[in-house]
Every structure is written in C-alpha cells, then in structure tokens.
Amino acid sequence: MLYPDAEARRRTVLVVVVNNPDDLRRAAAEGWYRIPQRRAPRRIGADYLAFYQTGAFKEQAEAQTVTYFAPTRRYRLLTRRELLPTEAGHPRADEFYFRIDIGPLQRLARPIPAEKYHRVTFIHTTLDRLLTATDVTELFRKDDPVETLWQALREHRLRPLKNRLVGEQPVDIALRARGGYLGIRCLEDSATHEAAAHLLPDRWELLHFSVRQIEEDLTGCLRQVGAALIQLGGSVLNAPQPER
C-alpha cells in the first residue's frame, strides 16, 4: 500500500505487542484490541495501531515481526468482564482495559522483523517509519515530543496524568484544575485537531500542540498551559491552603 501524501505519512502509530493469537483474530474479525490499564504506556493515543507478534505466532511464520496495522476509531475504558463476558470467571475480570476500536487490518507490503531487538514493548512511531523500516529498531523515535512536554510540566511542579479519555478520544497529557481538567494532545496533522474539537465533555478544556511547536517553542507551550489552567480556576496543586 502506498501513501504518497506527505501529510498522511506523518500520522502517528502505536506499536503494541500481541502474544495471543486470539487477540489478533479478534482484532481482525471484531475490530478491537485491548490494553490493560495498569500496563498501558504513558500515551495510548495514535492514528494507527501496529501489531508486533511474539514467538506465539511461529506456526504462522509471523513470529517476531510487525506485519499488520489498522486505523484507530475510538477508545473506551471497560472491565475485562465487559470485554470478554464468556470469561467472567477470570482472575482479572474486574480489572480495567482500554478497548481500542480499529478499522480493517492491513498487511504491510514488507513485514518488519525484530532481528536485533526482541524485547519489544510499546513503540510510538510514525506511519512513514512503519512503511519504510527494515527492522523494528528503526521504528524508535529519538525524541518523543510528549515525553519532552511531560518532563517540562513536572519541572514546573505540575502533576501530569496519563491516558485520560475525552469522550471517545484519548488525550496525551491531562492536568487537574480547580474548575475541571485540561487535556493536551500532540498532533502531527490538522484533520485530527478539527475532529477532536467537537468531542469535549463538561469541565474539560483541550489544547493542541504540534510536534514543531514543542520542539521549537517549548516555553510558549508552557505559557499556553499556564493560561488555560488559570481559566479553569488554577492548578489543583496551586490552590490556596486552608488557614490553621
């Protein structure tokens, strides 16, 4: 499959690990994938999911490769019991999972092997890297803009929260304020920005930063965060302390 549009090739991809053939069959047949909340990466939002198949797929000759990917549709937080009602007796039946609804699975023209690196967990990358990589190690990005912003917020004595859902879409970073929540999304295309603007529940405000903004004007991004928190009544951490 070819993606000549440069804008499309910059879209984000989350590579997830699949060590159970049933999970991949479910993704293909039912159109969804699950990630345990307690094991989720700091950021689950992406335009696409790609699937790294572990040694459990030796019979299909796809072990230790990224072979399939699919566009993401929506995100929900459900218990394992709700996701898999036929396994209601499972020891983790009451634990929460992110259910990510996806479009049809697409097979890469050239599957990506993990010849040099087998301990794959979650990888944030771009569609361009996914379509051109010859080894899993080439999927890694040297500088994750969300990680850069996350650390800067912590240095300013704020406490960023991971993986909050705004409607049916995830935000990369969330901050608590006295009047609600501030969500931050790091985007690499304007189309996602426009779609997200219509999905805000009550007491949520949303900021969008491009990768370029974070890389070139981190201070400006932090100023926007500060201004938005003030509009929401101020950060919870900066709330006045009661008199003793």
pLDDT band at 9 (very low <50, low <70, confident <90, very high): low
The answer on pLDDT for 190 being more than 50 is no
Taking 50 as the threshold, does the pLDDT of residue 244 lie above it?
no
CA distance 50 to 184: 23
- From its phi and psi, is residue 159 left (phi > 0), alpha (psi between -120 and 50) or beta? beta
pLDDT score of 176: 95
Query: CA 149 to CA 129: how far, in whole Å?
Result: 22
Is residue 198's pLDDT more than 70? no
Domain at 6-139: CATH code: 2.30.130.30
Please name the fold of domain 145-236: Endonuclease; Chain A (3.40.960)
Cα separation, 106 vs 123, whole angstroms: 18
- Flag whether pLDDT at 242 surpasses 60: no
Residue labelled with tokens 């009550």: 202
Asked whether the predicted pLDDT for residue 46 surpasses 90, the reply is: yes
* Residues 48-75, mean pLDDT to the nearest whole number: 92
The H or E element that residue 97 is part of is strand 96-102
Residue 243 has phi, psi (to 5 degrees) of -70, 145
The one-letter amino acid at 5: D
The pLDDT tens digits for 18-43 are 999 999 999 999 999 999 999 999 89
Interatomic CA distance for residues 162 and 159, integer angstroms? 10
Average pLDDT, the chain: 87
| DSSP-derived secondary structure letter, 241 | P
Residue 45 near residue 74 (C-beta atoms within 8 A): no
pLDDT at site 243? 39
Same fold, 6-139 and 145-236: no
Instruction: pLDDT band for 201, please (50, 70, 90 cuts).
Output: confident
The three-class DSSP label of residue 73 is strand
Judge whether 143 and 214 are in contact, CB under 8 Å: no
Beta strands 123-126 and 106-113: pairing type? Answer: unpaired
**Domain residue spans of the chain:** 6-139, 145-236
User: Lowest mean pLDDT: which of 65-69, 97-101, 183-187?
Assistant: 183-187
**What pLDDT does residue 203 have?**
86
| DSSP 8-state code for residue 235 | B
pLDDT in tens, 146-165: 899 999 999 999 999 998 89
Q: What is the DSSP string of 153-189?
A: HHHTT---B--EEETTEEESEEEEETTEEEEEEEESS
pLDDT at 78 over 70: yes
Q: What is the pTM of this model?
A: 0.82
